[in-house]
Chains A and B, each alone.
Chain A
Amino acid sequence: MGDSVTTNQPIEKRPRKQVEYNIILCSGPSCLHNKSSELYTEIVKQLEAFNCQSKVEIILSGCLGMCARGPIMVINPGYILYGDVGVNDVHDIIKGHIVDKTPFSQKVIHEDHLFNRFYRVFGDVKFFGKQMRIALRNCGIIDPEKIDDYLSVRGYEALAKVLTDYSPAEVIHQIQDSGLRGRGGAGFPTGLKWKLTADAEGEVKYVICNADEGDPGAFMDRSAIEGDPHSIIEGMLIGGYAVGAKKGFLYIRAEYPLAIKRLEKALTAAREQNFLGDNILGSNYSFDIEIRLGAGAFVCGEETALIQSIEGERGMPRPRPPYPSVRGLFDKPTLTNNVETWANIPVIILDGAKWFSTIGTKSSKGTKVFAVAGNVENTGLVEVPMGTTLREIIFDICGGIPGNRKFKALQTGGPSGGCLTEDSLDTQVDYESLAKAGSFMGSGGMIVMDDTTCMVNVARYFLEFTQNESCGKCTPCREGTKRMLEILTRITDGRGEVKDIEKLERLGAMISKASLCGLGRSAPNPVLSTLSKFRNEYEDHILHKKCTTGSCQAMLTYSINDQCIGCGACIRVCPVNAIKGIKRNPHTIDSELCIKCGECMKVCKFRAIDRV
């Protein structure tokens, strides 16, 4: 969903954005110290002097990590980086870059340093201006099938640094200090997980990359692998070194053939260069990675089910403890992290935990990738610093709701998450804030819904998904979700009963408590959250047999109003002969017979058919 949508709408017809450039001014502590606030005033002054303030937007950013060359300023489009910018340079830069359209070369920094960390924004200021790319730093920039391209952007340097300068314990310290948390859904502190695995007893240990990505609408991990497979391999190599593993597994769903092909190619190239194999880069660290294909069952993304699947068993979760970090794959201590989590590792090692921990909020550091789909102008993949608000993502980056419709709700966290309404739009993206607002960070799926969406139907859709994907091992999930789905289907079919809301709440609470794994425990979330935020829609469906958005077909009633001239067009198309009437006299629809197909409405030239 979302990622492969082609629109036929030509670009020229899109409303033209006013802003043509943005200037990103680093306001990290060091640049501030170097007077970036005076620069700000000067930039405003010069823009006014050249009368171009209306086409330029100034963005103050957090530390861009190039303190030695500060103050730093970036101008987009073009991702042209200016360093050591003095107040006296501003005139030349603005005149050169924005008025004459040629970058002011004396102050341009040519090193590729930042390219390793941030996305080069080629035009497209609105979409990329507020993004910050760490996990996806190379996606869309390098050729993913050429290891040379990866090497040229400091690829495998983090691995080399670790092997040269760090003990495994020091690596774990770095990851702990960075504040990185798992990007696969639960947000468990990554460094702690590494430490638990490293401390576990045993000679043999394993590392796993979870690339199962089962949330409907999510495609972050696929893009990350397809765009930059070596970053993930390098992350796993560093993880293996830190916990003392010699072997890694990359568990990826078979539905991602291109990603698999690129991974295989990357693994082969990495072996040729001795990044994988024995005595890597002359050290005494040996490690290799094997790809394992999943068949696309959602539950196999759950850590313990995934482990069983790699072992060749049926993918079913098992109770914890023992935790996989103590007893996991083949009963050995096992470290599992998500694709995006792995992709962050090399950057943390190269640029330091300290730098990484300056990005984001108090409890959530770094960035998060979201796959934004649904009713937004620009569907796409965005990576934003933690702390960015949902409003910024939906309206600033993704361009808002198309067709002059109104925003209604946002579903984050996929089938395990909840929906958020207008009044939560200023929630900052971080694990705690989203949970507090009643949703869930999840792996990064984001579905935007406008006011034509029926929330009961949405809840039914997600529950149908989890019901299908329930592995059947525990009763609360297997039977409970089935009963909930029956009730929801009944409600959307117009056969809802007064007690249904209460039943849904009771079942939901029970399933959340009693299920074995996260799939069951979170399955009721979409229902419970829509119930709490859109209870009136449930009541309309049940008590008044009415779906205000007109989405639930079964509940619509068609009738003929006094605009009818009795032409008979509707009578001819009605497939069930539900319309009666004499020529030139108003017709009527027998609502008992009507199957609500809407054909009559399509052919009526006099707007005489009402649908409520």
Chain B
Amino acid sequence: MKNPLEIIKVKRAEAINRILGRGYFSTKRVYVGMATCEIAAGSADVMEIFQTAIKNGLVDVYLSQKGCAGRCNLEPTVEVIEEGKIPVKYGLVDAGRAHEIIERHLKKGEVIEEWVIQ
């Protein structure tokens, strides 16, 4: 019989496979902060905008929620990670900014410098 460490290794491999199956290796991974504080600042709407965009045909994007990283006064935050590039974290993302991030960054690859948390 397998010992717990061996079992957990299998479970991890299965979990990673499932994550990959959800499209983790898309060109772009987008993380939206969804803790109580982020939601209070409006992140649920932002999340919905990304979800809708994907439903309406935005491809190559892996969308996930995440907890609070502690950046209270700049919430909602959205991170965009691309393989081989330096990750980008946007602050104070409202509906308008979310739409622009989709149009400019996710579709055209342009980093919108002025909203990046430095």
A binds B: yes
Could you list which residues of chain A lie within 8 angstroms of chain B, going by C-beta atoms? 2-7, 10-12, 16-17, 20, 77-80, 101-103, 105, 119-120, 122-127, 136, 138-145, 147-149, 151-152, 154-157, 159-161, 163-165, 219, 222-223, 226-228, 256, 258-259, 273, 280-283, 377-383
**5 additional A-B residue pairs with CB within 8 Å, beyond A3-B40, A160-B4, A223-B68:** A6-B92, A11-B114, A127-B117, A140-B68, A280-B4
Whether A281 and B86, one on each chain, are in contact in the complex, defined by CB atoms closer than 8 angstroms, is no
Interface: B54 (CB within 8 A): no
A and B contact pairs by CB, cutoff 8 A, 15 listed: A3-B36, A3-B72, A7-B73, A7-B92, A123-B88, A127-B71, A142-B66, A144-B65, A145-B65, A149-B15, A159-B4, A159-B8, A223-B67, A227-B69, A381-B70
Whether A282 and B7, one on each chain, are in contact in the complex, defined by CB atoms closer than 8 angstroms, is yes
Inter-chain CA distance A77–B86, complex, in Å, is 7
Inter-chain CA distance A282–B66, complex, in Å, is 32
- Say how far B118's CB is from chain A's closest CB, in angstroms: 5
Inter-chain CA distance A259–B68, complex, in Å, is 12
Nearest neighbor of B67 in chain A, beta-carbon distance: A227
Nearest neighbor of B73 in chain A, beta-carbon distance: A379
* A11-B92 contact in complex given A4-B40, A140-B67, A258-B39, C-beta closer than 8 Å: yes
Cβ contacts under 8 Å, A259 to chain B:
36
Interface string of B1-40 (1 = CB under 8 A from A): 1111101100110011011000000000000010111011
Interface: B87 (CB within 8 A): yes
Whether B4 and A281, one on each chain, are in contact in the complex, defined by CB atoms closer than 8 angstroms, is yes
Whether A381 and B68, one on each chain, are in contact in the complex, defined by CB atoms closer than 8 angstroms, is yes
Whether B36 and A222, one on each chain, are in contact in the complex, defined by CB atoms closer than 8 angstroms, is yes
Q: Which of A2, A124, A226, A283 contacts B67 (CB 8 A)?
A: A226
Inter-chain CA distance A417–B33, complex, in Å, is 32
Whether B89 and A124, one on each chain, are in contact in the complex, defined by CB atoms closer than 8 angstroms, is yes
- Say how far B64's CB is from chain A's closest CB, in angstroms: 5
Most buried by B among A127, A151, A155: A151
Whether B36 and A281, one on each chain, are in contact in the complex, defined by CB atoms closer than 8 angstroms, is no
Whether B64 and A378, one on each chain, are in contact in the complex, defined by CB atoms closer than 8 angstroms, is no
Cβ contacts under 8 Å, A125 to chain B:
118
Kindly identify, within residues 41 to 62 of chain B, every residue whose CB is under 8 Å from any CB belonging to chain A: 41-42
Cβ contacts under 8 Å, A138 to chain B:
67
Cβ contacts under 8 Å, A377 to chain B:
73
Nearest neighbor of A222 in chain B, beta-carbon distance: B36
Whether B70 and A5, one on each chain, are in contact in the complex, defined by CB atoms closer than 8 angstroms, is no
- Say how far A94's CB is from chain B's closest CB, in angstroms: 14
Inter-chain CA distance A20–B75, complex, in Å, is 21
- Say how far A85's CB is from chain B's closest CB, in angstroms: 18
Whether A228 and B118, one on each chain, are in contact in the complex, defined by CB atoms closer than 8 angstroms, is no
Most buried by B among A6, A12, A127, A138: A6
* A160-B8 contact in complex given A77-B87, A80-B86, A378-B71, C-beta closer than 8 Å: yes
Cβ contacts under 8 Å, B88 to chain A:
122-123
Whether B37 and A219, one on each chain, are in contact in the complex, defined by CB atoms closer than 8 angstroms, is yes
Whether B86 and A101, one on each chain, are in contact in the complex, defined by CB atoms closer than 8 angstroms, is yes
* A282-B2 contact in complex given A123-B117, A136-B70, A223-B70, C-beta closer than 8 Å: yes
* A282-B3 contact in complex given A148-B18, A380-B73, C-beta closer than 8 Å: yes
- Say how far B96's CB is from chain A's closest CB, in angstroms: 12
